[in-house]
Chain A
Amino acid sequence: EDQVTQSPEALRLQEGESSSLNCSYTVSGLRGLFWYRQDPGKGPEFLFTLYSAGEEKEKERLKATLTKKESFLHITAPKPEDSATYLCAVYNYGQNFVFGPGTRLSVLP
Chain B
Amino acid sequence: DTGVSQNPRHKITKRGQNVTFRCDPISEHNRLYWYRQTLGQGPEFLTYFQNEAQLEKSRLLSDRFSAERPKGSFSTLEIQRTEQGDSAMYLCASSQTSGGPTDTQYFGPGTRLTVL
The judgment on whether A and B are partners is no
- Interface on B for A, CB 8 Å cutoff? none
